[in-house]
Structure 1
Amino acid sequence: MITPAKPRILVTGATGKTGGAVVAELRRQGWPVRAVVRRRDERSALLNAMGAETVVADYFDTEQLRHAMEGTRRAYYLPIMDPFMIQGANAFALAAREAKLEQIVQMSQWLSSARHPSMLTRQLWLVDRLFADIPGVAHTILNPGMFADNFLRFIDFATLLLIYPHLTKDSRSAPVSNEDIARVAVAVLADPARHAGRSYRPTGPKLLSGKEMAQAISRAIGKPVLPIGIPLWMFFKTARMQGVDPYEISGFRYYLQDHWRGAFSAGGGVTDVVHELTGSPAEDFETTARRYAAKSFAQPTLANRLKAIWNFSRTPLHPGWNLDRFDRSRGFPVPFAPSLAVDDEGWQASHLPAAEQPSVMRLAAGAHMS
């Protein structure tokens, strides 16, 4: 019997952390992949080395996106972290209709809600609904909570200075690895009909506080690590020093407020999505930390140690951002009655599972519910 060929899958955001992981997992399982990139560089070369076909396209240009979709049947869509995200999503939705895609697996966000003070989060809520309404497309949402990557960007401070800066106070979340998100995405892409209209929340296997993450990192590197809670003003300085887009940080400050209020531990905070969809349990934080600690920038060399000491000591002297002023200067719209997700009844109704409803599966965005 002849086995039918696997359809080619389009991946946007392919040079990013989850997009790159999705490309790698698809190729590992033998799926043909077309990866959308913004430019040819060393990152696109790595995708080519995996066996993916790369195509350069403007994420705001419907015609370029439609051309990129030619010959593909399914897509993993990573929204652009940009003030004009909704324009890019509309361009993608129009292109998907013209190209007659059969499936879109869309990355969203656990906090996605209509009145959130973060403009990025409000736009993600709109994208959730925009894609759910594309005729004839099997649409699935992935809305993970906090990514393990968010908590391991300062792993060099742990390996080199034996300190772990964190922002979460005593609140908890269940950090999920990029690789587990990718495995879930590929499982959904492999079976469009089964997952159409669903929303999945992949998480790590355990709720952790900043102190507990420091303990996991200590076990991963075999040395005691001291957790240090840092104030937001220090984080703003660090982010600016690292060249992070202030638009992303403007939203992230509100995510932290939701975190402190328990939004990421609400409803139990842990799901079996990774195991249910992939057949393997979610990776624990210690294992993820061990992989990050093996990265070149975290190795205990003299140069790395001096760099870590320099970066840590100069942070208080580096200018930060006035994010309220930044938002006003860009003219971002403000909801009539802004509300953190944890205080929003609409968010609670659509995101927290009912007692009789498995947390593994929910109807995407509450759309098409009778």
Structure 2
Amino acid sequence: MATVNHFPKILVTGATGKTGSAVVAQLCENGWPVRAMVRARDARSQRLESLGAETVVADMFDPNQVLDAMQGTRRAYYCPPLHPYMIQSAAAFVAAARQSKLEAIVGLSQWLASPNHPSLHTRQLWLVEQMLSDLPGVAHVTLNPGYFADNYLRLLDFAALLGVFPILTGHSRNAPPSNEDIARVAVALLMDPEGHAGRSYRPTGPQLISAYEMVPIIRKVLRSPVLAINLPLWMFLRTARLQGVSAFELSSFRYYLEDHKQGAFELGAPTDVVQTLTGQPPETFETTVRRYAALPFARRTFANRLRAFINFNRVPFTPGYNLDRFEREQFHPRPPVPQLAMGDLQWQASHSS
């Protein structure tokens, strides 16, 4: 006789993203029924289905589609989209959660979240935390990781193919969490939300490390010489635009680089969150590097080397973004006195305990 799974079904938004896909995979591995919300049917959604997840195509900005996707689920992982109108998505999600009577939500936020930060995305994340925490009868838990390991390692192809590792954060330190460890914490909370309602957890890596201290680890993994280069912001913006990164993403990221240099991600790190909630230590930075080095974009093939060489030589001729003008033209609201994390006494008081 077939066994019946009595676990409540869990909705995962942003299910093809970096943390969302890992949450889906780990929940399925643990035998939990999962409904993965995706933007389109493609190879990524097919992979989630192969893991055992049910997939549903829905527009995260449409209240009716979000409600339809949520029907029949009891818990949810909410991963806000990196989008100028993300708050619309959050409002749609909150309305659907209220109607569907979800019992628990794990919401991905950010270590920097505050009402005063110059980044629109960061201010909106703070608002989303307030919206989710006000849902009656819902056990809401906040995940607020800092600067991900992914933010450094998305530049790993420079090291693997060109022998240089661009550094944007100087000698400031961080204990960068991997996507997988963030997902492990989310999964632990989704599987057992009892006792965590109203709490906030910051998963980190196991040790504080600067980008310059990452370079010897990258050399070891790649088994080849790698030179650290301090990349000016203007050149990074050109490189990022060449790689298809949007102006909105960069309009926030430039502030996060300054937060990093001022020590915002070093404050309170590392934490024991991963070990305490999952029973396993966070993975080392070397472990994360090895996974990225095996990805197609970093493999030392002739095609990849040729692409990297051509793109590297295109950078000086690629226009950068004028991010101040972009924010004005997009009518981004601004706080009266924008404050980075380490200059915001209110943020420091709430994050130093």
TM-score after normalising by structure 1:
0.93
Amino acid at match of 1:100: K
- 2: CA distance, partners of 1:61 / 1:132: 21
Distance 2:258 2:121 in 1: 15
Which runs of 5 or more structure 1 residues have no equivalent in the other structure?
354-370
1:363 matched residue in structure 2 = none
Deviation digits for residues 295-328 of structure 1, max 9, x if unmatched?
A: 1221222221121122222212211000000000
1:168-179 paired onto structure 2 within 5 Å: 168-179=169-180
Structure-2 separation of matches of 1:71 and 1:124: 27
Change (3 A) 1:194 1:119: same
The residue number in structure 2 matching 1:202 is: 203
Partner of residue 294, structure 1: 294
Identify the residue that residue 345 of structure 1 maps to in structure 2.
Answer: 345
Unaligned runs of 5+ in 2: none
The aligned counterpart of 2:213 is: 212
Residue of structure 2 equivalent to 1:364? none
User: Does 2:91 correspond to 1:90?
Assistant: yes
1:87-236 matches, within 5 Å, as: 87-236=88-237
- The DSSP-based 3-state class of the residue aligned with 2:174 is coil
Question: What amino acid is aligned across from residue 324 of structure 1 in structure 2?
Answer: D
For 1:181 and 1:88, how far apart are their aligned partners in 2? 22
Instruction: State how far apart, in whole Å, the 1-side matches of 2:83 and 2:302 are.
Output: 38
Matches of 1:164 and 1:309, distance apart in 2: 14
How far residue 4 of structure 1 moved from its aligned partner, in angstroms, is: 6.6
Q: Following TM superposition, by how much is the alpha carbon of 1:3 offset from its aligned partner in structure 2, in angstroms?
A: 8.4
Say whether 1:59 aligns with 2:60.
yes
Partner of 1:278: 278
Partner in structure 2 of residue 334 of structure 1: 334
Name the counterpart of 1:26: 27
Of 158-167 and 276-285, the range deviating more from structure 2: 158-167
Classify the secondary structure of the residue corresponding to 1:195: coil
What is the Cα deviation at residue 232 of structure 1? Answer: 0.5
Mapped to 2, the partners of 1:105 and 1:146 lie a distance apart of: 19
* Percent of aligned pairs with the same amino acid: 62
Structure 1 residue 23: Cα displacement: 0.5
Corresponding residue for 2:315?
Answer: 315
Q: Which residue of 2 aligns with 1:250?
A: 251
Contact in 2 for aligned 1:10/1:33 (Cα 8 Å): yes
Residues 11 and 33, structure 1, Cα contact 8 Å, conserved in 2 = yes
Give the Cα–Cα distance (whole angstroms) in 2 for the partners of residues 61 and 307 of structure 1: 39
Q: Which residue of 2 aligns with 1:365?
A: none
- Which deviates more, 209-218 or 121-130? 209-218
After TM superposition, give the deviation of residue 68 of structure 1 in Å: 0.8
Report the 3-state secondary structure (helix = DSSP H, G, I; strand = E; otherwise coil) of the residue aligned with 2:66. Answer: helix
Amino acid of the structure 1 residue aligned with 2:214: M
Alignment-mate amino acid for residue 341 of structure 2: A
The 4+ residue runs of structure 1 with deviation greater than 6 A are none
Asked if structure 2 preserves the Cα contact closer than 8 Å seen for 1:25 and 1:183, the reply is: yes
Does structure 2 conserve the Cα–Cα contact (< 8 Å) formed by 1:220 and 1:287? Answer: no
Q: Name the CA distance, whole Å, in 2 between partners of 1:217 and 1:250.
A: 28
Q: Deviations over 1:278-311 (max 9, x none)?
A: 1111011111101111112212222211211222
What's the CA shift string for 1:172-194, capped at 9, x where partnerless?
11111111111100000011122
Name the SS for the 1:114 alignment partner: coil
**Residue equivalent to 1:46:** 47
What's the secondary structure of 1:58's corresponding residue? coil
Q: Does the residue aligned with 1:211 lie in a helix, a strand or coil? A: helix
Task: Give the TM-score, by structure 2 length.
Answer: 0.97
Q: Which moved more, 1:101-110 or 1:4-13?
A: 4-13
Distance 2:62 2:299 in 1: 42
